[in-house]
Structure 1
Amino acid sequence: MKRQQILDLYEWSPGVCFRHPGRGELPTAHVKTIRPPAGGLQDVRACAECVLRMEEQRKAAAERDGTSYRPGQLGLE
Protein backbone atom coordinates (compact mmCIF):
# COMPACT_ATOMS: atom_id res chain seq x y z
CA MET A 1 0.00 0.00 0.00
CA LYS A 2 1.16 3.50 -0.73
CA ARG A 3 1.77 6.12 1.94
CA GLN A 4 -1.40 8.13 1.28
CA GLN A 5 -3.56 5.01 1.14
CA ILE A 6 -2.41 4.06 4.64
CA LEU A 7 -2.95 7.59 5.98
CA ASP A 8 -6.44 7.63 4.48
CA LEU A 9 -7.37 4.70 6.74
CA TYR A 10 -7.24 7.02 9.77
CA GLU A 11 -9.36 9.94 10.91
CA TRP A 12 -7.33 13.11 11.30
CA SER A 13 -7.95 16.07 13.58
CA PRO A 14 -5.80 18.74 15.23
CA GLY A 15 -3.81 17.45 18.17
CA VAL A 16 -0.33 16.99 19.63
CA CYS A 17 1.81 14.03 18.53
CA PHE A 18 3.00 11.97 21.48
CA ARG A 19 6.48 11.67 19.94
CA HIS A 20 6.79 15.29 18.83
CA PRO A 21 5.03 17.48 21.42
CA GLY A 22 7.36 20.38 20.63
CA ARG A 23 5.83 20.71 17.18
CA GLY A 24 2.59 21.88 18.76
CA GLU A 25 -0.81 21.23 17.26
CA LEU A 26 -0.89 19.52 13.87
CA PRO A 27 -3.05 16.90 12.10
CA THR A 28 -2.97 13.73 14.20
CA ALA A 29 -4.72 10.38 14.39
CA HIS A 30 -5.87 8.63 17.55
CA VAL A 31 -3.68 5.57 18.12
CA LYS A 32 -4.47 4.50 21.67
CA THR A 33 -6.26 5.37 24.90
CA ILE A 34 -4.30 4.85 28.10
CA ARG A 35 -5.10 5.01 31.82
CA PRO A 36 -2.39 7.10 33.52
CA PRO A 37 -1.52 6.24 37.15
CA ALA A 38 -3.07 9.56 38.21
CA GLY A 39 -6.42 8.34 36.92
CA GLY A 40 -8.73 9.15 34.06
CA LEU A 41 -8.21 8.39 30.40
CA GLN A 42 -5.67 9.92 28.04
CA ASP A 43 -5.86 9.75 24.26
CA VAL A 44 -2.54 9.16 22.51
CA ARG A 45 -2.30 10.86 19.12
CA ALA A 46 0.33 10.61 16.38
CA CYS A 47 1.30 12.69 13.36
CA ALA A 48 1.44 11.23 9.85
CA GLU A 49 5.19 10.56 10.08
CA CYS A 50 4.73 8.55 13.28
CA VAL A 51 1.66 6.68 12.03
CA LEU A 52 3.63 5.54 8.98
CA ARG A 53 6.60 4.53 11.12
CA MET A 54 4.37 2.51 13.46
CA GLU A 55 2.66 0.85 10.49
CA GLU A 56 6.09 -0.13 9.11
CA GLN A 57 6.96 -1.66 12.50
CA ARG A 58 3.66 -3.57 12.58
CA LYS A 59 4.27 -4.90 9.07
CA ALA A 60 7.81 -6.03 9.93
CA ALA A 61 6.59 -7.75 13.11
CA ALA A 62 3.85 -9.57 11.18
CA GLU A 63 6.39 -10.77 8.62
CA ARG A 64 8.71 -12.02 11.39
CA ASP A 65 5.84 -13.78 13.19
CA GLY A 66 4.30 -15.19 10.02
CA THR A 67 0.99 -13.46 10.73
CA SER A 68 -1.14 -11.33 8.46
CA TYR A 69 -0.76 -7.58 8.37
CA ARG A 70 -3.64 -5.22 7.76
CA PRO A 71 -2.87 -1.47 7.83
CA GLY A 72 -5.12 0.96 9.64
CA GLN A 73 -5.32 -1.02 12.86
CA LEU A 74 -3.28 1.15 15.23
CA GLY A 75 -5.16 1.45 18.50
CA LEU A 76 -7.41 -1.48 17.72
CA GLU A 77 -5.00 -4.18 18.83
Structure 2
Amino acid sequence: MERQQILDLYRWSEGVCFRHPGKGEVPTAVVGVVHPCGDGEKEVRACADCVITMEDIRREEAARSGGEYEPGHLGDVLR
Protein backbone atom coordinates (compact mmCIF):
# COMPACT_ATOMS: atom_id res chain seq x y z
CA MET A 1 0.00 0.00 0.00
CA GLU A 2 1.33 3.44 -0.90
CA ARG A 3 2.04 6.18 1.68
CA GLN A 4 -0.94 8.35 0.69
CA GLN A 5 -3.31 5.39 0.76
CA ILE A 6 -2.28 4.69 4.35
CA LEU A 7 -2.61 8.33 5.37
CA ASP A 8 -6.08 8.45 3.81
CA LEU A 9 -7.22 5.84 6.34
CA TYR A 10 -6.95 8.45 9.11
CA ARG A 11 -8.94 11.57 9.94
CA TRP A 12 -6.65 14.64 9.93
CA SER A 13 -6.95 17.97 11.74
CA GLU A 14 -4.60 20.56 13.19
CA GLY A 15 -2.84 19.45 16.34
CA VAL A 16 0.53 18.87 17.98
CA CYS A 17 2.45 15.69 17.17
CA PHE A 18 3.43 13.84 20.35
CA ARG A 19 6.88 13.10 18.91
CA HIS A 20 7.53 16.57 17.43
CA PRO A 21 5.88 19.16 19.69
CA GLY A 22 8.40 21.77 18.56
CA LYS A 23 6.76 21.86 15.12
CA GLY A 24 3.68 23.43 16.70
CA GLU A 25 0.29 22.84 15.11
CA VAL A 26 0.44 20.70 11.98
CA PRO A 27 -1.98 18.24 10.36
CA THR A 28 -2.23 15.29 12.77
CA ALA A 29 -4.30 12.16 13.29
CA VAL A 30 -5.40 10.63 16.57
CA VAL A 31 -3.35 7.49 17.17
CA GLY A 32 -4.46 6.80 20.73
CA VAL A 33 -5.99 8.07 23.93
CA VAL A 34 -4.39 8.30 27.36
CA HIS A 35 -6.05 8.80 30.73
CA PRO A 36 -3.71 10.78 33.02
CA CYS A 37 -4.58 10.55 36.71
CA GLY A 38 -7.22 13.13 37.53
CA ASP A 39 -7.05 14.76 34.10
CA GLY A 40 -9.72 12.96 32.07
CA GLU A 41 -8.98 11.76 28.58
CA LYS A 42 -6.25 13.13 26.27
CA GLU A 43 -5.79 12.37 22.58
CA VAL A 44 -2.37 11.28 21.35
CA ARG A 45 -1.84 12.88 17.93
CA ALA A 46 0.81 12.18 15.31
CA CYS A 47 1.98 13.93 12.15
CA ALA A 48 2.02 12.14 8.79
CA ASP A 49 5.68 11.13 9.05
CA CYS A 50 5.10 9.60 12.49
CA VAL A 51 1.96 7.77 11.36
CA ILE A 52 3.93 6.20 8.51
CA THR A 53 6.81 5.31 10.84
CA MET A 54 4.43 3.64 13.31
CA GLU A 55 2.62 1.79 10.50
CA ASP A 56 6.01 0.54 9.21
CA ILE A 57 6.83 -0.77 12.71
CA ARG A 58 3.48 -2.56 12.92
CA ARG A 59 3.96 -4.08 9.45
CA GLU A 60 7.47 -5.31 10.33
CA GLU A 61 6.29 -6.78 13.66
CA ALA A 62 3.45 -8.61 11.91
CA ALA A 63 5.87 -10.03 9.33
CA ARG A 64 8.27 -11.20 12.07
CA SER A 65 5.53 -12.83 14.14
CA GLY A 66 3.59 -14.27 11.22
CA GLY A 67 0.60 -12.13 12.12
CA GLU A 68 -1.66 -10.17 9.83
CA TYR A 69 -1.09 -6.50 9.12
CA GLU A 70 -3.88 -4.13 8.21
CA PRO A 71 -3.03 -0.42 8.11
CA GLY A 72 -5.20 2.24 9.68
CA HIS A 73 -5.53 0.87 13.19
CA LEU A 74 -2.89 2.68 15.23
CA GLY A 75 -5.45 3.88 17.75
CA ASP A 76 -6.62 0.31 18.25
CA VAL A 77 -3.08 -0.72 19.21
CA LEU A 78 -2.57 2.10 21.73
CA ARG A 79 -5.94 1.99 23.48
Alignment TM class, shorter chain as reference: over 0.9
1:34-57 Cα offsets, whole Å, 9 max, x none, are 011343111000000000000000
Amino acid at match of 1:20: H
Aligned length: 77
Partner of 1:42: 42
CA distance in 1, matches of 2:28, 2:7: 10
Q: Output the TM-score relative to the length of structure 2.
A: 0.93
What CA RMSD, in Å, does the superposition of the two structures yield over aligned residues? 0.8
**Superposition deviation, residue 67 in structure 1:** 0.4
**Superposition deviation, residue 66 in structure 1:** 0.4
What secondary structure sits across from 2:61 in the alignment?
A: helix
User: Which runs of structure 1 show a deviation greater than 4 angstroms over 4 or more consecutive aligned residues?
Assistant: none
Gaps in structure 2 of 5+ consecutive residues: none
Q: Choose between structure 1 and 2: higher helix proportion.
A: 2
- Percent identity between the aligned chains? 58
Gaps in structure 1 of 5+ consecutive residues: none
CA distance in 2, matches of 1:69, 1:39: 33
CA distance in 1, matches of 2:23, 2:73: 25
